[in-house]
Every structure is written in structure tokens, then in C-alpha cells.
């Protein structure tokens, strides 16, 4: 139909992210393909496969990345560590990018950037994986395509990272910063992410990103919270997770059911 909106291809994610266009995604915590297909069909810009805090092995990550491509949604992987071999495996499987935890120094940021690219980096080459079209893509075409589209995002979630935040943000090959408010809250001994110490950390990270002309990604609890962070300068938002979205919908459903139909106890009493 002529009125249909043409969705951007998943490979354009880094370009849109770097241009600080608003993009929205969600964590994938359950090791199946279905949630990714659903979110892709609904028009989410990206999903984040959570290898750090959910039970994903390489084979399952590979399957979900296939689902992401099939659903035209950018597949980002939150790797369990900054190990170059871990980053490489995700990129070979066709990840659009990696979200790397605990990037607390300039040296680590440089190492992450090097692992995620060929030219000027140290990414190991293979044309036989999904990223290379299973051997169909010429060597230098693959190098150029991957280096132009793979997105490396550094998670800032340690107090020591704040001392080097301007330098970390400026590292070539780090395409954006993710503010890990949960880890910062715990590390700073704050009562909640609303405490002044955490808010100050958020402001410092956003200021550093702005200075380096890099985008900021943040996990938020709701679209309303996303609006607040957009006002501060964030442009990429992870809203909940597949489990969180299911729990919220399930909680609302059971509440509505009890309100309209009653509880089993009430039903039993009414029958006597």
C-alpha cells in the first residue's frame, strides 16, 4: 500500500544511532527466538541479547540473531565480558553490534574498539560465517561493510570510569555510551538511582558523550522516563525486557480477571 511506512533496514542502525536519532529496543532474557520476532514485527529498532545476565550460549545467540535479521530488527549482544573472542563470535554470527559491560578505562575502551573492527583494529577475519554471507562476500567488501555498520557501545557502570569519562567517550571506534544506572547505584552505595550521586554520574556521562559527539543509551522503566532522559540528551532507550514486558502484561491480565470474574475462592463461595 502506498501509505505504508518503509522501515529502515537493520544494517542502518549504527548510522541512525550515531546521528542521535531516537531508537528504542528491549533486552532479550529468554533463550528463544519468539520474543525477538514479536518485537521486530512491532517495529522496535533493536533488541539486546543478554549474555551477561541470562542463560545464552553461542548456539542460542546465533539463533536469536537469525530471528533478528529475519524480523528486520538490529541484533545487539550484551556480551558476558570484553574478551575479544566473545566479541568476535557475536559479530561473526551477524550481530549488528555489541554492548560491552564495565568499560572503566581508556585502555579497555580501546581494546573493545579494536576487537570490533578490521581496519585499524584486531578483529579476526572469517568470511565463512553469517556476517560474510557464508563465503559469498569478497574479503574487502566484507571488511568495508562490517567496519561501516558494526556498532560498539561501552557500558559505563563503574565509579572509576567517571574519572576518565571524557577520554573513554573520545576513543575512536566506540560509537556510544550506555549508562548502567543499576551498577552505579550499587557501586556508589546509593539508596536508589534517583539519588544525587547517581544523577551526578548520569550528567557527567551525558556531558562527555555530547563533547565527543557520541550518542547515549540508557535503560528506562517507561516511555515517560525515556522522555525525561531525552531531555537530558539521551537518544537510545532500552525499555524493559521480554520477561519484564510479559510480567507487566500478565500482572495486568490477572488483576483485570480478578476484578471482573473474581478469585477462585469467591467463585466457589458463590456456587453454594
**Catalytic: 272?**
no
Is residue 42's pLDDT more than 80? yes
* Domains along the chain with CATH numbers: 10-243 (3.20.20.60)
Mean pLDDT of 207-220: 97
Q: Give the per-residue pLDDT at 6.
A: 79
pLDDT 10s digits, 125-155: 999 999 999 999 999 999 999 999 999 999 9
Give the tens place of pLDDT for each residue, 65-116: 999 999 999 999 999 999 999 999 999 999 999 999 999 999 999 999 999 9
Weakest-pLDDT range from 128-137, 237-246, 257-266: 257-266
pTM beyond 0.85: yes
Choose the catalytic residue: 9, 34, 53, 268. 53
Helix H, strand E, coil C: the string for the chain is CCCCCCCCCHHHHHHHHHCCCCEEEEEECCCCCHHHHHHHHHCCCEEEEECCCCCCCHHHHHHHHHHHHHCCCEEEEECCCCCHHHHHHHHHCCCCEEEECCCCCHHHHHHHHHHCCCCCCCCCCCCCCHHHHHHCCCHHHHHHHHHHHCEEEEEECCHHHHCCHHHHHCCCCCCEEEECHHHHHHHCCCCCCCCHHHHHHHHHHHHHHHHHCCCEEEEECCHHHHHHHHHHCCCEEEEEEHHHHHHHHHHHHHHHHHHHCCCHHHHHHHCC
pLDDT on residue 263: 74
- Per-residue confidence (pLDDT) for residue 262, from 0 to 100: 84
pLDDT of residue 183: 94
Amino acid at each position: 500500500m502506498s501509505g505504508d511506512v518503509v522501515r529502515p533496514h537493520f544494517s542502518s542502525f549504527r548510522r541512525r544511532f550515531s546521528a542521535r536519532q531516537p531508537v528504542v529496543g528491549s533486552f532479550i532474557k529468554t533463550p528463544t527466538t519468539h520474543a525477538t520476532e514479536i518485537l521486530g514485527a512491532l517495529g522496535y529498532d533493536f533488541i539486546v541479547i543478554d549474555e551477561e545476565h541470562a542463560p545464552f550460549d553461542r548456539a542460542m545467540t546465533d539463533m536469536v540473531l537469525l530471528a533478528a535479521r529475519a524480523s528486520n530488527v538490529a541484533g545487539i549482544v550484551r556480551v558476558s565480558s570484553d574478551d575479544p573472542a566473545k566479541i568476535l563470535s557475536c559479530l561473526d554470527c551477524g550481530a549488528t553490534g555489541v554492548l560491552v559491560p564495565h568499560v572503566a578505562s581508556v585502555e579497555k575502551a580501546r581494546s573493545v574498539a579494536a576487537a570490533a573492527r578490521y581496519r585499524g583494529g584486531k578483529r579476526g577475519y572469517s568470511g565463512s560465517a553469517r556476517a560474510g554471507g557464508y563465503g559469498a562476500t569478497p574479503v574487502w567488501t566484507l571488511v568495508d561493510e562490517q567496519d561501516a555498520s558494526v556498532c560498539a557501545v561501552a557500558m559505563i557502570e563503574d565509579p572509576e570510569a567517571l574519572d576518565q569519562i571524557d577520554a573513554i567517550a573520545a576513543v575512536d571506534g566506540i560509537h556510544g555510551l550506555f549508562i548502567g544506572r543499576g551498577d552505579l547505584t550499587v557501586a556508589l552505595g546509593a539508596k536508589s538511582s534517583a539519588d544525587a550521586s547517581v544523577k551526578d554520574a548520569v550528567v557527567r556521562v551525558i556531558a562527555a558523550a555530547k563533547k565527543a559527539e557520541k550518542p547515549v543509551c540508557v535503560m528506562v522503566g517507561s516511555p515517560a522516563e525515556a522522555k525525561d532522559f531525552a531531555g537530558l540528551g539521551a537518544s537510545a532507550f532500552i525499555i524493559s525486557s521480554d520477561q519484564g514486558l510479559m510480567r507487566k502484561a500478565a500482572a495486568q491480565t490477572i488483576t483485570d480477571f480478578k476484578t471482573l470474574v473474581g478469585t477462585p475462592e469467591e467463585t466457589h463461595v458463590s456456587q453454594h
